[in-house]
Amino acid sequence: PKHVQLYRAFGWDAPVFCHLPLLRNADKSKISKRKNPVSLNYYRRAGYLPEALLNYLALMGWTMPDGHEEFTLAEFIEHFTLERINLGGPVFDLTKLTWLNGKYIRACPAEEVLARLRGGLLSDDYLLKVIALAHERVETLEDFVDYAGFFFVGELTYDGDAVKKLVGKKHTPRESATALQTLLDEVLDPVLEWTAADLEARLRAFVERIDWKAGDFFMPVRIAVSGRAATPPLFETMAVLGKEVCRRRLRRAVEVLRALPEPAAAE
């Protein structure tokens, strides 16, 4: 293995390594960054507490002697033994992680929850980025909450009008799903510099490549990442939302499109 070769190259004594089985999806397939959020930044941004995520990941390959599922890092260290490692392929269940995270949040005093919100989703840095995009487009502070609300939620829901715009007027659900999936796989996944300027250049080049009109493609992308047709400029919006959030929302939009019936063929 490469990590062992590195130890040898530097002349260091290598420790004894223990490897756990790879995490799997609910369908037993290997977790892939193309299909799942695997970045810690995504879970941090989505509001998962570090101690909850650590607790859950520990459960993926190990169990407490008494079988209880909630434990601190100190308790984990105290009771950990190699003999209790589970060698079966663990399934990463986001629903269970969310449930466990909720228990941790409910155990926090209100003041601590406020501090964590200010340190993450409601940090001054993030709020200022959102305000910079939205403040010229609202009339009251209450408007701001409605107009920019999608910057502060996890999963989006698409109402009937949004789904229609997700499909577009000139394309079928399958065509739109294929276009968005190709955008994800071939354009957005490789992006390292997630900036508005770079995103605009890449998306415009992609539109030319697939021979769609810009408006016909950018509206489904806008709906996918925001859930609404009226937003701040698309590329700036995507830059502020961040790569992991945009990728996850686009994947969700593809799922919605693929579940729609195809229009009946003209006779």
* Residue 192 belongs to domain with CATH number: 1.10.10.350
- Can 129 be counted among the known catalytic residues? no
55 part of a folded domain: yes
124 part of a folded domain: no
Domain that holds residue 204: 160-258
155 part of a folded domain: no
1 part of a folded domain: no
Predicted TM-score (pTM) of the model is 0.77
pLDDT of residue 262: 77
Do residues 43 and 111 both lie within one domain?
yes
Contact criterion met (CB below 8 Å) for 222 and 160:
no
Nearest to 190 by CA among 243, 236, 239: 243
Distance CA 182, CA 41 (A): 24
When pLDDT is averaged across residues 57-70 and rounded to a whole number, the result is 90
Dihedral angle of Cα 115, 121, 127, 132, to the nearest 10 degrees: 170
Do residues 166 and 103 both lie within one domain?
no
Given the residues 30, 33, 103, 170, the one annotated as active site: 33
Domain boundary among 87, 116, 145: 116
pLDDT of residue 36: 64
Looking up tokens 């399934």, which residue turns up?
91
Do residues 232 and 170 both lie within one domain?
yes
132 part of a folded domain: no
Distance CA 196, CA 226 (A): 16
When pLDDT is averaged across residues 94-117 and rounded to a whole number, the result is 93
CATH number of the domain residue 74 falls in: 1.10.1160.10
pLDDT digits (tens, 9 = 90+) for 120-160: 878 899 999 999 999 999 899 899 989 999 999 888 889 88
pLDDT of residue 265: 59
pLDDT of residue 35: 62
pLDDT of residue 34: 60
Do residues 110 and 171 both lie within one domain?
no
pLDDT of residue 78: 94
Q: How many domains does the chain have?
A: 2
139 part of a folded domain: no
Domain boundary among 61, 81, 116: 116
Count Cβ atoms within 10 A of the Cβ of residue 83 and give its class: 0-12 exposed, 13-18 middle, 19 or more buried.
exposed
At residue 94 the predicted structure's pLDDT band, cuts being 50, 70 and 90, is confident
At residue 264 the predicted structure's pLDDT band, cuts being 50, 70 and 90, is low
Tokens of residue 86, six digits: 């589970």
- In the chain, how many H helices and how many E strands? 14, 0
199 part of a folded domain: yes
pLDDT digits (tens, 9 = 90+) for 22-54: 888 877 777 766 666 677 878 888 889 999 999
Domain boundary among 95, 116, 137: 116
User: Which residues, 6 or more positions from 144, have their beta carbon under 8 angstroms from its beta carbon?
Assistant: 131, 134, 135, 138
At residue 266, does pLDDT exceed 60? no
pLDDT of residue 178: 94
Do residues 187 and 96 both lie within one domain?
no
